[in-house]
Amino acid sequence: MRLALESDMVAGSMLNFDLDAYAAPRRKLIEQQLDEYLPEREPAALWQAMRYSVLAGGKRIRALLCLASAEALEHMHSSKFKAVEAALPCACAIEMIHAMSLIHDDLPCMDNDDFRRGKPTNHKVYGQAMALLAGDALLVHAGELLLRRTPAHIDSTRLIDIAAEMARASGPHGMVGGQVADCIATGLVPQGKPAATVNAELLESIHKRKTGALLRFSTWSGARLMGGSDEVVEALADFGELLGLAFQIADDLLDTTGDLQTLGKTPGKDQASGKLTWVSIYGIDGSQQTLAALQKKGESLLRQTQLPADATAPLNALLAYAIQRRS
Ligand code: IPE
Ligand code: IPE
Ligand code: MG
Ligand code: MG
Ligand code: MG
């Protein structure tokens, strides 16, 4: 697809950015690296279950955001390192944590889904015990890979900070915390009390944690790996969180408007299971309006970084893609 970015007026002309041309070679690298990080060792059933979900396709938006954020800083004179080389292990670690979150999210005790990425869900193929364990293994394997495979020229204090932040984004303050709030709101936790009235603030907080936290970490980590200034790193992190919120709102919309073939997962599940979603509160039109507003805000966050427009063009295009996607 060719995305014309309205906000990127460079010397009075519209900057065209071809996201497919940008993403295709990077996706290939990400897939190759993930394949290498998941060798078929013993116990064979475990590695097979891990490989099944991680290598089953997926848009790789989190990994792409991590690379794009690192690349946005590549040409700054303070950064001596090749961005893709520096960020690829981190980008793959994020994809593994994401795959773990999907395997667990699909379990019968959570969203009880049968299809993911166009294939039967992990527990449908390997059983619930293995799905749980494959998720656990992916989570800790991701941490090991980040620490061991990030190039040695990255300062170790910085790497420890990144590992700590990855744990924070995935854990009780981030993704898992958001998933718990999602489960409570859906009435899945016996001790949890679903809110009596629909609370828009609660919904935004759920989306920002269950999805936004890992996307925030994706852009934050790319910039931090490249030694960006605190201001730029934080602005790119805020952009990632905003993109994450938009991404989950688009996901809520696609659950009502998409089909199994295109989505690779069963649509209509949110309403059937009484999920608290953007659509359940604001409707389809309201959700689309929120997305349009978030796109403008995201573009403005990128401008605030004062990075050149061509350096942030991939991030801008990924935001547009997150909002306009069909799968
Ligand atoms: C699905 O994530 C779960 C959400 C956070 C909405 P993606 O839509 O990124 O799933 P893949 O990786 O492309 O399969
Ligand atoms: C999932 O949100 C968020 C995760 C952390 C996995 P959803 O439950 O809406 O994701 P899908 O629709 O199953 O992909
Ligand atoms: Mg869910
Ligand atoms: Mg789900
Ligand atoms: Mg969903």
Peptide bond into 172 cis (omega under 30): no
Amino acid code (one letter) for 258 = G
Rg of the chain on CA atoms, in Å: 19
Q: For 81-114, what is each residue's pLDDT tens digit?
A: 799 999 999 999 999 999 999 999 999 999 999 9
**What are the distances in angstroms from CA 212 to CA 130, 173, 207, 238, 242?**
27, 11, 6, 10, 7
Tell me the β-bridge partners of 19. none
Residues 109-162 have pLDDT tens digits of 999 999 999 999 999 999 999 999 999 999 999 999 999 999 999 999 999 999
Ligand 1 pocket by Cβ (under 6 Å): 58-59, 61, 98, 117, 211, 248, 251
Choose one of 208, 210, 279, 287 to mutate for the ligand 2 pocket test, by most ligand atoms within 8 angstroms of C-beta.
Answer: 210
Instruction: Write down the pLDDT at residue 195.
Output: 78
Specify the amino acid at residue 142.
A
Question: Distance from the CA of 193 to the center of ligand 5, in angstroms?
Answer: 22
Report whether 18 contacts 2 (CB < 8 A): yes
Q: What is the mean pLDDT of the chain?
A: 93
Convert the pLDDT of each residue in 282-309 to its tens digit: 999 999 999 999 999 999 999 999 999 9
Q: Which pTM does this prediction carry?
A: 0.95
Cα(113)–Cα(64) distance, rounded to whole angstroms? 26
Cβ 209 vs Cβ 175: under 8 Å: yes
| Of residues 77, 61, 85, the one with CA closest to residue 219 | 61
Amino acid at 257: T
Query: Which structure tokens are listed for 102?
Result: 């999907």
- State whether the beta carbon of 175 lies less than 6 angstroms from ligand 2: yes
pLDDT number for residue 151: 97
For residue 79, the model assigns a pLDDT of: 64
